[in-house]
Amino acid sequence: MKIVVTGGAGFIGTNFIYHLISKYSDYKIICIDKLTYAGNKNNLASLFKNPNFKFYKADICSKSLIEKIFSKERPDIVVNFAAESHVDRSIKNPQIFLKTNIIGTSVLMDASIKYDVKRYHQVSTDEVYGDLPLDRPDLLFSETTPLYTSSPYSSSKAAADLLVLAYNRTYGLPVTISRCSNNYGPYQFPEKLIPLMFSNAMSDKQLPVYGQGINVRDWLYVEDHCSAIDLIIHKGKVGEVYNIGGNNEVRNIDIVKKILKIVGKPESLIKFVADRKGHDLRYAINSTKIKNELGWVPETKFEDGLAKTLDWYKSNIPWVEKLNKRNKF
């Protein structure tokens, strides 16, 4: 079995590759990554001597490069993590998101058709559904919730999802889509909430919190996400969308306070800043479908996952500092 993982040098892609390598000793894993600011080849350094792993530096928008790789490797499965994913960056420069997240997806699917890929899997986000009110905890996103996006990022991901389903109907490409809630865990890029707050707290810098920090997210430990995608690409039904949630709804301000408590820093470091434009209030995932069809449930409680995540960052401070310096966070 050969699996192409695009965006494999990023946060979730890195964790997914390690998941596959550790679980399937006979699989060949081919990582494709452009190595933008969020891609870090060093994440995968321990695998470069592994005969079952191969790395290609390539932009998924480059039709010639992607077809060259597919022609050589002839993958059975493609899992597309490659995406511009930071909402703030999408607000400042939407065009980059449209190119990578939509055009790049089409290039990958064209190559998948040409080289007879047996399963194309698109990794998406719960942000395509928009948001939910804070005062209706009974409301959850299901796979049939209408798409109602709030940012250029989520709009580009929703467009890609629709394109994937269209390729299934028009060309018969065997596809699946997963839409996950907020991920956290090892290797997450320092611009994201949990690593940013940890890094600032450890340096006694102010911790910027949008608005009053009342926005709610459903947090999914990255290894749980990886196990869900593993199930979908092997046992999921072609043409289907699967929601993947962590069942861990937490307000942003409460996460920040938990981090400060764990690292022993005062809450006076918190600084409330002007809210993000179009800031979604609440995300919450209904994962009943993947539970009933594939038997998947998240295994990691938020408190346990957060502790493991912060332990990883404490043990990898040079990794964080190098990225902070390179990107001037």
Give yes or no: 126 in active site.
yes
Handedness of CA 131, 216, 83, 161 (dihedral sign): negative
Is residue 23 a contact partner of residue 48, using CB atoms and an 8 Å limit?
no
Q: Which of 18, 56, 129, 153 is catalytic?
A: 153
Distances (CA, A) of 138 to 77, 132, 148, 273: 37, 10, 19, 30
Q: Which of 33, 59, 84, 127 is catalytic?
A: 127
The alpha-helical segments, DSSP class H, found in the chain are 11-23, 63-73, 87-92, 94-98, 104-114, 152-171, 193-202, 222-235, 252-263, 288-294, 302-315, 317-327
Give yes or no: 153 in active site.
yes
Q: Is 87 left (phi over 0), alpha (psi -120 to 50) or beta?
A: alpha
Give yes or no: 84 in active site.
no
Q: Which of 33, 59, 84, 126 is catalytic?
A: 126
What contacts 24, CB < 8 A, 6 or more positions away? 1
Residues with a catalytic annotation lie at 126-127, 153
